[in-house]
Amino acid sequence: MSRLDSFIARMQAQRDALNFLKPMVDAVPGPILEVGLGNGRTYDHLRELFPARDIYVFERKVAAHPDCIPPDDRLFLGDADRTIDEAARKLGATAALIHTDLGTGDHEANVAMGRWLGPALDRLAASGGYVLANQSLDVARWQRLPEPPGVPKDRYFLYRVR
């Protein structure tokens, strides 16, 4: 599979998983968290899916399309380890949905990041909420859910927070 085809397949899986989770997330109060803004495509989709929700975004350095940049009071700017800790102090475990798509091209570095990322995000996740991640995250109170129809196994990882 070419890099372009892989990117398109990943974006389709991400969109399909978010659309699948929408009715379940609608039943859970709390904000939506987007960990990794990138160019803002997913943030834009989240705004469309959840127009009445506060959506907080985490990004090291904003380089998104101007129409896809959150307001300053919804942006945690800087390295994820620091900003997730800051958000946990500010928001607590209130998030109805956490979407994370952090990573690099280095598999071992992604695995190492996943070891601290899951527990860090757990400090933000509301009981009954959902987590959608581009990598497996091992958190005791998260229950892995099956992939939505049409999403290939292990392309995205869905969790329900107990």
Write the pLDDT tens digit of every residue in 4-54: 888 888 889 999 999 999 999 999 999 999 999 988 999 999 999 999 999
Letter string b/e over residues 6-23, b meaning 16 or more CB atoms within 10 A of that residue's CB: eeeeeeebbebbbebbee
> Which whole number is the average pLDDT over 48-74?
96
**pLDDT tens, residue by residue, 133-155:** 999 999 999 999 999 999 999 99
pLDDT confidence of residue 110: 83
Provide the strand spans (E) within the chain: 32-35, 55-59, 75-77, 95-100, 125-133, 142-145, 157-161
Q: 1, 2, 70: which is closest to 36 by C-alpha?
A: 70
The domain limits of the chain are: 3-161
What is the rounded distance in angstroms from the CA atom of residue 127 to the CA atom of residue 144? 14
Residue 112's pLDDT band, with cuts at 50, 70 and 90, is confident
The CATH number of domain 3-161, selected from 3.40.190.10, 3.40.50.150, 3.30.1330.10, 3.40.50.10800: 3.40.50.150
* Spatial separation of the C-alpha atoms in residues 68 and 37, rounded to whole Å: 9
Tell me the pLDDT of the chain averaged across its residues: 94
| pLDDT beyond 90 at 89 | yes
DSSP secondary structure string, 107-118? HHHHHHHHHHHH
The CA distance from 58 to 97, in Å, is: 14
Could you give the 3-state DSSP secondary structure of residue 131?
strand
Question: Among 16, 3, 21, 20, which residue's Cα sits nearest to residue 155?
Answer: 16
107 has pLDDT over 90: no
How much is the pLDDT for 74? 97
pLDDT at 3: 85
- How much of the chain exceeds pLDDT 90, in percent? 82
Give the neighbor-by-neighbor strand order of the sheet with 157-161: 75-77, 55-59, 32-35, 95-100, 125-133, 157-161, 142-145
